[in-house]
Amino acid sequence: MKYKDGDIFRWSWTDSRIKKMNLQQQAGTTYWCKSRICIFRENRNSFKDTYWNDGGMSDFVIEMDDVDKDIKLEFIANINELRPCEITEFNYYDNSDCINISHPNMTRSGRYIKKDAKRSLDKMKRVVEAHLEHYKTQARYAAQEVVRMEEDLKSLTVESYVPCRDDVYVY
């Protein structure tokens, strides 16, 4: 495969590499300090994992010789064909146009929209419908709570439980 500068991939160890590393008993450390997302850098002819962003010695680099032998790659997109965005913009575009490569060590970025993407009325409708359902569910729950609390109030004693919500204050 011919790689282009800025190609983004999800990566994982091959089964043979995992066997060589003998990590079956250490599953939590198999990908320690690795995002499992890498970007191809043409000037280095290698892939850099995105977990560390400092460009230092702690960077994990995948060399071309490791691909297929030790590393499996799954293409996501090319960074040069994307524009950064806030997660809220995903509500306006088809899922296929939204790229999220954020991870626990990259929480303030890593969200992109394809540069040629157009807003999707279908997606926007689904977002509004999901919000409607959310608020209807909250309204049903609130109505049930009103009935329950009215009953609790009628039988209140000093031994009774009373709710304690952070957003309800009594002085």
Selection from 60, 61, 72 nearest residue 1 by Cα: 72
pLDDT at 124: 98
- pLDDT surpasses 80 at 96: yes
pLDDT at 116: 97
What stretches of the chain show up as alpha helix (H) in DSSP? Answer: 15-21, 121-154
pLDDT at 171: 85
Chain center to CA of 46: 25
> The pTM is what?
0.79
pLDDT at 132: 98
The β-bridge relationship of strands 71-78 and 7-13 is: antiparallel
Selection from 16, 71, 15 nearest residue 40 by Cα: 71
pLDDT at 5: 97
pLDDT at 85: 97
Lowest mean pLDDT, pick from 17-26, 102-111, 112-121, 151-160:
17-26
Query: What residues does 67 pair with on adjacent strands?
Result: 71
Q: Mean pLDDT across the chain, nearest whole number? A: 91
CA gap 126, 50 in Å, rounded: 32
More reliable by pLDDT, 25 or 85: 85
Q: Are 71 and 79 in contact (CB under 8 A)?
A: no
Over the stretch 38-87, which tens digit does the pLDDT of each residue have? 999 999 999 999 998 766 666 889 999 999 999 999 999 999 999 999 99
Strands (E), the chain: 7-13, 37-41, 46-49, 61-63, 71-78, 82-84, 98-100, 111-114
